């Protein structure tokens, strides 16, 4: 995943990615910050379609990006809030249809692609891994659009049409691997950064995975750090440990925003419900997914985070074939999952965390207003003295 922004000059080196010789590059949101930042730090306004198009083109013309795509990896992608055009944006964004066309142009989506006809940019790709003629394995890459239909009031991140499409696509193959990608993090619903999946939508996704009895790994971006997470007690409901692999960002990370307190602040913002501190990497990073299929058809995954120079800094190995075999005889235990101690703890604490986050934001904007008012009064006073 990649996140490029002009404000920060240092980026993951395009050459480091190019040397990995990827077959495919997947944008997981915020390929560009198309909005204008206001005088209030980290609040944004949409600048218009022409500027939004230009800012995505700046990413495309970036020398590091050009180096990275040299040799022709297939470019796919989905958006998140900042390349959608509205921070915390959803179904009511008035320019979403026009931005859909602009974003798909940015990733060179074919003119006759179904993504240009849908309401939203979600899509399903099938990657057939064939180590020898009589042995193959299907990897299903599902890109979800968490913006176009997002309804925060109704706690629905995908919209009914996309939910029905998702279940229909997953039902087609029970023996393959599903990589489900989202611009926003999916399972981390206890975090007080609230631009994530809501609990209702997460449960609906889990219900689909459980009812279809398929093996899935989640992919996400957005949060300005790389990490591996796992959903506690998911073995009871899905038959395996549900893993989410987050890679973010290529251009800037949380340490860039708060260079002196970044790691300590992250420990507060990112509780240990889904992982530990050693599962996170706070510097610029990119993610790699390697499919390993032997001549007998056994499939495994190597998921890895890499630093600016391309060094592997975090990793997970997954025996996919073993998990799929076990699912054949698995019966979900929803009650055991719902009574999971770790999940119950964060559910009990989440209301308080959200209240604290609300008042923290309120205090932040109040301080910004006071500083702005003071500066304005000082400027008027200085001008009055000159006259």
pLDDT tens track for 37-90: 876 656 789 999 999 999 999 999 999 899 988 888 999 999 999 999 999 999
Output phi, psi for 131, to 5 deg: -70, -25
Per-residue pLDDT at 322: 95
Does pLDDT of 352 surpass 90?
Answer: no
End-to-end CA distance of the chain: 55
Q: pLDDT class for 132, splitting at 50, 70, 90?
A: confident
Q: Please state, rounded to an integer, the average pLDDT across all residues of the chain.
A: 86
- pTM to 2 decimal places: 0.88
Q: pLDDT class for 343, splitting at 50, 70, 90?
A: confident
- C-alpha dist (Å) from residue 70 to 21, 55, 75, 173, 250: 9, 21, 11, 34, 17
Does pLDDT of 349 surpass 60?
Answer: no
Q: Are 23 and 33 in contact (CB under 8 A)?
A: no
Higher-confidence residue: 144 or 65?
144
Q: Is the bond into 249 cis (omega within 30 degrees of 0)?
A: yes
Per-residue pLDDT at 22: 94
């Amino acid at each position: 995943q990649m996140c490029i922004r002009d404000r920060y000059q240092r980026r993951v080196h395009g050459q480091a990615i190019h040397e990995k010789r990827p077959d495919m590059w997947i944008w997981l949101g915020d390929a560009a910050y198309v909005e204008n930042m206001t005088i209030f730090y980290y609040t944004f306004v949409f600048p218009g379609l022409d500027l939004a198009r230009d800012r995505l083109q700046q990413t495309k013309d970036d020398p590091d990006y050009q180096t990275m795509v040299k040799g022709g990896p297939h470019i796919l992608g989905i958006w998140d809030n900042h390349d959608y055009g509205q921070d915390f944006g959803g179904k009511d964004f008035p320019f979403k249809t026009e931005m859909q066309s602009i974003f798909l142009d940015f990733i060179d989506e074919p003119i006759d692609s179904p993504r240009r006809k849908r309401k939203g940019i979600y899509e399903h790709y099938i990657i057939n891994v064939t180590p020898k003629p009589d042995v193959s394995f299907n990897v299903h890459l599902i890109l979800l659009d968490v913006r176009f239909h997002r309804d925060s009031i109704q706690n629905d991140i995908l919209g009914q049409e996309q939910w029905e499409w998702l279940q229909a696509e997953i039902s087609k193959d029970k023996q393959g691997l599903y990589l489900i990608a989202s611009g926003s993090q999916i399972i981390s619903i206890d975090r007080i950064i609230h631009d994530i999946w809501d609990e209702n939508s997460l449960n609906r996704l889990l219900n689909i995975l459980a009812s279809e009895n398929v093996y899935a790994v989640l992919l996400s971006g957005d949060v300005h750090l790389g990490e591996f997470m796992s959903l506690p007690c998911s073995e009871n409901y899905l038959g395996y440990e549900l893993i989410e692999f987050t890679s973010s960002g290529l251009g800037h990370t949380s340490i860039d925003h708060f260079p002196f307190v970044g790691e300590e602040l992250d420990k507060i913002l990112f509780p240990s419900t889904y992982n530990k501190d050693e599962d996170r990497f706070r510097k610029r990073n990119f993610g790699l997914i390697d499919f390993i299929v032997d001549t007998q058809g056994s499939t495994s995954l190597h998921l890895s985070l890499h630093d600016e120079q391309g060094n592997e800094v975090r990793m997970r190995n997954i025996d996919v074939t073993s998990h799929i075999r076990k699912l054949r005889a698995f019966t979900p235990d929803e009650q055991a999952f719902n009574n999971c101690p770790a999940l119950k703890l964060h559910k009990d604490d989440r209301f308080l965390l959200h209240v604290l986050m609300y008042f923290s934001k309120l205090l932040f904007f109040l301080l910004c207003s006071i500083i702005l008012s003071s500066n304005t009064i000082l400027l008027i006073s200085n001008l009055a003295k000159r006259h």
